[in-house]
Structure 1
Amino acid sequence: MPSSRLTERALNSLKPGATLWDQEVRGLGARRRGNDGRVIFVFKYRSPIDRDVTGRGRQRYITIGPWGRGDWGIDDARKVATAHRDALRLGRDPAADRDHRKAMPTVAELCDAYLAAVPNLLLRRERRPKKPSTIATDKSRIAAHIKPLLGSMPVDAISQRDVQRFMHGIAAGASAKRSKLGSRAVSNVRGGRGAASRTIGLLGSIFAYAVAEGHRPDNPVRGVTRYADGKRERRLSDEEYALLAAGLVRAQAEGVNPFGISCVRFLLLTGWRRGEATELRWSEVDIPGRTARLSDTKTGASMRPLAQPVVGLLQEQTRTGGPFVFPARSENKALQGLPRMWARIRALSQLGEDITLHTLRHSFASLAADLGYGDAAIAALIGHSRSGTTARYTHRSDRVLLKVADEVAFATLDKLQYPPAVAAPRIERGLECP
């Protein structure tokens, strides 16, 4: 068969149906098709894994691509052919590798499969499926960051270096995008280090699923050093407690939703998560027993002690006839828009934007620590999971936890410098807790 060094002149002179083999890279050829006259680069080899009865590898052809402007150049074809020859030396069949790549899902397809399977996947630490709210957040991160930056790549082509670039790209704003969702709604993807670290955590779970499904033998996210998690350690100072108390009074005078004001006071006195408070139902509250039994929280079912000031607040709470302690305008729905109400209260309190509803939770836990209480007691008060300690402590120490809750709630009232609605009498201070 004719062979020569492939050049533009040689390729232009090829006749329809003719093939010219390259003298520089063995196996690389250029063939002019008879139907449309285009020149196509091909690679000819003998398969190392598919042999005939004599033990000789079967001859195969693999198409590299068309030659021409905007397509493959001669040097490009040589690089691909050289890569195929390297694969042959390792005992791999380039055609089998190509078929494997075609069958391999992209990262976008893997994400879709993961989201379809995740309701039935158990979290390793909690041994339970992800909550619907967490799955909704996962969907948002996949759509905002993972698919735009990695979605088109094959799953088995992702390296640890790709993951590192991906993380740094999100941190630098590579996936930042602002778009309209409707007449009023706007999607504003900002990126940043916090978003990068949290998305890398999700990507690790997605690739763990890929390993379990046999798409690749390893997880490329493992070993990647993330940015610091940016935990929100902000707590209220004594001055800020007083400013917030005054802001709550102003909010009431200016017509802020009274259920929103009551919910903020409730969060101040309990340290609960925002969703736990807004979703709290009267059926979960035991006023005489001063407990709340939450059937579904971030850490599963949870029983919480209710301090005397909290009981007083609940007793003075207006009952609408609906199931929720803090209802929306519709009595049968939970309170909506608490972050927006909090922004108004915060502005009326002349507090900085770095003070969030989570700051109230951290302030409550920090105040409990200031009073000398240990991690197990604080975890039981605010529903923080600590390797099963919370549940055991709660069931054994209800009376002690009620005293702890009372003291932390009354200490909060001291810092607020004015009493929110409290119907129960004040207890004696200086209680001890092991």
Structure 2
Amino acid sequence: MAREKINKRAVDALTWRPPGPPQQFLWDTVLRGFGVYVLASGQKTYVAQFRREGRSQRVKIGPHGPFTPEKARAQAARILGRVAHGEDPAAERRERRAARTVNAVADEFLADHVDELRKPRTAAEYRRIVDLHIRPALGRSLIREVKRADLASLRADLRETPIMANRVLAVFGSLWSYSARVGDVEADANPVRGIERYREQGRERFLTTVELARLGVALEEGEALGLPYAIDETRPTAKHAPKSENRRVKLDAFAVAAIRLLLLTGARLREILGAKWEQVDFERGILFLPDSKTGRKPIYLSAAAQAVLASLPRVEGNPHIIAGVKEGAPRADLAKPWAAVKRAAKLEGVRLHDLRHSFASFGAGASLGLPIVGKLLGHSQAATTQRYAHLDSDPLRRAVDAIGATIAAAMDGSKGLP
């Protein structure tokens, strides 16, 4: 437990060191019970800690910046002085917090919890769900007064989008758990509990060998000649458009390579778009990602994937494999090129993420084993890979063939019996 006089120099030098707890503390040697903690994000917060009725309690004073060490120490002294006179600042704080609205708790939840502990894209999705669904329905309600019936009603309102309805319940459950940790409500009273989730239909789509062939043709044609595009013939400007046989748009090499790599590696879109040349080990055939949805992750590169990388030029000043238009930045997305490729290859309803599913389906279908497929995909839980179990049909085929052959042989042998 680190102890030092808390001043600006000490607080500026305070850093979070892995591995360790989410909050790492520095306690003051001048005022007992006064401290400051740092998060992995670098955010620092002053606290006052004391014992009352045999229990250790902690009251948050405020963040470093708005609070200087001197101002925070003075506030801590007032809090600890009230405790010495028999008052309970923590209980008073809980009473004030219990009167907070869902909006107020959500503001703190998003800033102090989600933005600090979730990856940026996940945090953005949390914020979208809170702003679009939770605030309009429950924002003005006191957090302590939200009932299961309120959430059941919100779930019913979203019945046309069952997946979103389930996500809303999950986010509110997380918000309530946070609220319980900071003393607003009781964890056991979480109103999300007991509300049945909508059944979610699987959205996996696997490309067949015929579809893969069409995809390959579309990619080659798009890069070499361009893919055809349509125009609205009813518009006044349509007469100035090129003739139908000349309406083609070429795909840039980086977009084509990204689509090929998605299919050949089973990687996620952002993993490929964000990958850098320095992360590629050509000798071992591995792309080492320092961070991904599931943490550090190696992406294994087949000979075909390495050939795609070898065909790409390196853009001076841009470290990314899939270079974007902006200097030094990766390509932002593949929405337009994928729409054109999908249309040309007649892959109606196929999403970019389905290329990942297709990679997994071929691995499972080849009886490589679900643990191996899961490792290639970077799944952190075996249950995630289990969705592909039904594709692993070769062992069953071999088994049924063996059983059938044995039965047939026995039946054929019976012809010679008396």
What range describes the TM-score normalised by the shorter chain of this pair?
0.5 to 0.7
Q: 2:265–2:299: 8 Å Cα contact kept in structure 1?
A: no
TM superposition score normalised by structure 2:
0.60
Maintained 8 Å contact 1:107/1:154: yes
CA deviations on 1:387-414 (whole Å, 9 max, x unpaired) are: 7999xxxxxxxxxxxxxxxxxxxxxxxx
Letter in 2 for 1:207: W
> Contact between 1:273 and 1:361, CA under 8 Å: does it hold in 2?
yes
Counterpart position of 1:324 = 320
CA distance in 2, matches of 1:148, 1:384: 35
1:376 corresponds, among 364, 367, 371, to 371
- Aligned to 2:379, the other structure's residue is in SS state coil
Going from structure 1 to structure 2, the CA distance change for 1:102 and 1:314 (only over 3 Å counts) comes to closer
Which amino acid in structure 2 is aligned with residue 209 of structure 1?
Answer: Y
C-alpha displacement at 1:208, in angstroms?
0.9
**Superposed counterparts of 1:20-99, under 5 Å:** none
Q: Is the 8 A contact 2:155 2:165 kept in 1?
A: yes
Q: What CA distance in whole angstroms lies between the structure 2 residues aligned with 1:358 and 1:216?
A: 39
Secondary structure of the residue that 1:296 maps to in structure 2? coil
Match of 2:135 in 1: 147
Q: Name the CA distance, whole Å, in 2 between partners of 1:376 and 1:278.
A: 26
The answer as to whether partners of 2:98 and 2:185 remain within 8 angstroms in 1 is no
Matches of 2:357 and 2:159, distance apart in 1? 26
Q: Which one of 225, 250, 262 corresponds to residue 221 of structure 2?
A: 250
Question: Would the alpha carbon gap of residues 103 and 168 (structure 1) be closer, same or farther in structure 2, given more than 3 Å must change?
Answer: same
Across the two proteins, how many residue pairs are aligned to each other?
265
Q: Distance in 2 between matches of 1:355 and 1:344?
A: 12
* Percent identity (aligned): 31
More helix by share: 2
Separation (CA, whole Å) in 2 of partners of 1:205 and 1:229: 20
Distance (Å, rounded) in 2 between the aligned partners of 1:119 and 1:142: 11
Distance 1:103 1:119, change over 3 A: closer
Aligned pair partner of 1:344 in 318, 328, 340: 340
Q: Structure 2 vs 1, CA of residues 102 and 206 (structure 1 numbering), >3 Å: closer, same or farther?
A: closer
In structure 1, list runs of 5 or more residues that go unmatched: 1-98, 122-128, 173-191, 391-434
Q: Which residue of 2 aligns with 1:422?
A: none
The answer as to 2:210 corresponding to 1:215 is no
- 358-367 vs 245-254, greater mean Cα deviation: 245-254
Going from structure 1 to structure 2, the CA distance change for 1:114 and 1:259 (only over 3 Å counts) comes to same
Q: Is the 8 A contact 2:114 2:126 kept in 1?
A: no
Q: Partner of 1:138 in structure 2? A: 126
Q: Pick from 352, 355, 375: which aligns with 1:357?
A: 352
Distance (Å, rounded) in 1 between the aligned partners of 2:114 and 2:178:
13
Shift of 1:103: 5.4
CA-atom RMSD in angstroms:
2.3
CA distance in 2, matches of 1:195, 1:388: 22
TM-score computed with the length of structure 1 as normaliser:
0.58
Q: Shift in Å at residue 276 of structure 1? A: 0.3
Ranked by relative contact order (alpha carbons within 8 Å, sequence separation 6 or more), the top structure is 1
Contact 2:371–2:382, Cα closer than 8 Å, also in 1 = no
* Structure-1 residue corresponding to 2:282: 287
Q: Is the 8 A contact 1:326 1:335 kept in 2?
A: yes
Given candidates 232, 254, 260, the residue that maps to 1:259 is 254
What is the alpha-carbon distance in structure 2 between the residues aligned to residue 388 and residue 227 of structure 1?
20
Unpaired stretches in structure 2, ≥5 consecutive residues: 1-93, 227-249, 386-418
Q: Is this contact kept in 2: 1:376–1:389, CA < 8 A?
A: no
Greater C-alpha Rg: 1
Distance 1:108 1:120 in 2: 16
Tell whether the 8 Å contact from 1:304 to 1:380 is kept in structure 2 after alignment.
no
| Residue pairs, 1:135-284, within 5 angstroms | 135-172=123-160, 192-217=161-186, 218-252=189-223, 253-254=225-226, 255-284=250-279
Structure 1 residue 204: Cα displacement: 1.1
Whole-angstrom CA distance in 1 between matches of 2:195 and 2:252? 46
Shift of 1:164: 1.4
Alpha-carbon offset, residue 382 of structure 1: 1.5
Q: SS of 1:330's equivalent?
A: coil
1:11-26 aligned within 5 A: none
Distance in 1 of aligned mates of 2:210 and 2:382: 36
Q: Secondary structure at the match of 2:289?
A: strand
